[in-house]
Structure 1
Amino acid sequence: MTDDTILAAGCVLWRRSPVDGELEIAVVHRPKYDDWSHPKGKLKRGEAPLAGALREVEEETGFRCEPGARLPSVLYYAGGRRKTVSYWAAEATEGHFTPNREVDRLRWLSPAAARTRLTQPRDQDLVDELLAVLRHA
């Protein structure tokens, strides 16, 4: 990893629907990029990836969560710089979404609908990773 690699972390946030108990995945809309993604963000200097992931989830979604299995990290280039995002499966425990500067919409969707709504294929793949982890839990 080079010194100018951007380090970030996030979660594939999930819950059981309060209506029918089915699995729902949170996807967030970021107006700056006009995209739908999993909650994530850059790590602060010296911040551990898991701590950063939990902080970013709460900042972007308003939900606290219980982290579960580590999911595959995602590597891509943003603005010509290498970016590595560490991900965890995380179950939403409590909270309430309030639109903010970074995230103006949050949707709780079925896995199939989340996969369709997510902008990047790398985020769509994380839905499959989450389902595999939950099947073996």
Structure 2
Amino acid sequence: MSAGRRPSSRPPAFSAGVVVVRRDAEGWRLLLLRAYRDWDFPKGALERGESPLDAAIREAEEEAALRDLAFRWGDAYCETAPYGRGKVARYYLAETSETGITLPVSPTLGRPEHHEGRWVGLDEAARLLPPRLQPILAWARARLGA
């Protein structure tokens, strides 16, 4: 689905997340999180009555302890094509000034949801992210003017 279009109905599984970026001397850095061998941006399922943007903000805090998010590009988003069992993930773009990475312990799991977090450049992100997230990365890159 193209960026900014609203789906006519929700897919069977729907999640929301944030492409978190920060700028340093080398350019834009993106936060990637790894669970097992899979790299992704912070994201997760919506809770009952929660908007996708609110879910994305909550997931960034739950998965990476990020509270300093500036949605400089507004509430525009980009969604993945359906994957897995028809799941669709919506991503927003936000900037942070935080440089550290914290992987909080999930009360449900008793451990962090992810095994690793990294700040990476755009080229490294392209190497690490799976094919389903390459359009999200291209969308973010275009919005960043990079």
Question: Could you state the TM-score of these two structures normalised by the residue count of structure 2?
Answer: 0.77
Given that residues 61 and 96 in structure 1 are in contact (C-alpha distance below 8 angstroms), is that contact kept between their aligned partners in structure 2?
no
Given that residues 10 and 39 in structure 1 are in contact (C-alpha distance below 8 angstroms), is that contact kept between their aligned partners in structure 2?
yes
Instruction: Choose from 3, 6, 9 the match for 2:16.
Output: 9
**Counterpart residue type for residue 127 of structure 1:** L
Work out the CA distance in 2 between the residues paired with 1:132 and 1:93: 21
More strand by share: 1
Cα deviation 1:3-40 (Å, max 9, x = unaligned): 771121001110012xx151101111013xx3111111
Displacement of 1:2: 6.6
Look up the SS of the partner of 2:126 in the other structure: helix
Q: Which residue matches 1:71?
A: 77
Task: Determine if the alignment matches structure 1 residue 90 to structure 2 residue 97.
Answer: no
Indicate the RMSD between aligned Cα atoms, in angstroms. 2.2
Q: Which residue matches 1:115?
A: 126
Given that residues 11 and 87 in structure 1 are in contact (C-alpha distance below 8 angstroms), is that contact kept between their aligned partners in structure 2?
yes
Identical residues among aligned pairs (%):
32
Work out the CA distance in 2 between the residues paired with 1:97 and 1:28: 10
**Counterpart residue type for residue 22 of structure 1:** G
Task: Determine if the alignment matches structure 1 residue 53 to structure 2 residue 49.
Answer: no
Look up the SS of the partner of 1:63 in the other structure: coil
**Counterpart residue type for residue 56 of structure 1:** E
Task: Determine if the alignment matches structure 1 residue 62 to structure 2 residue 75.
Answer: no
Question: Could you state the TM-score of these two structures normalised by the residue count of structure 1?
Answer: 0.82
Work out the CA distance in 2 between the residues paired with 1:106 and 1:4: 28
Q: Which runs of 4+ in 1 moved over 3 A?
A: 1-4, 93-96
Greater mean alpha carbon deviation, residues 45-54 or residues 58-67: 58-67
Given that residues 75 and 84 in structure 1 are in contact (C-alpha distance below 8 angstroms), is that contact kept between their aligned partners in structure 2?
yes
Greater mean alpha carbon deviation, residues 98-107 or residues 43-52: 98-107
Q: Which runs of 5+ in 2 are unaligned?
A: 1-7, 106-111
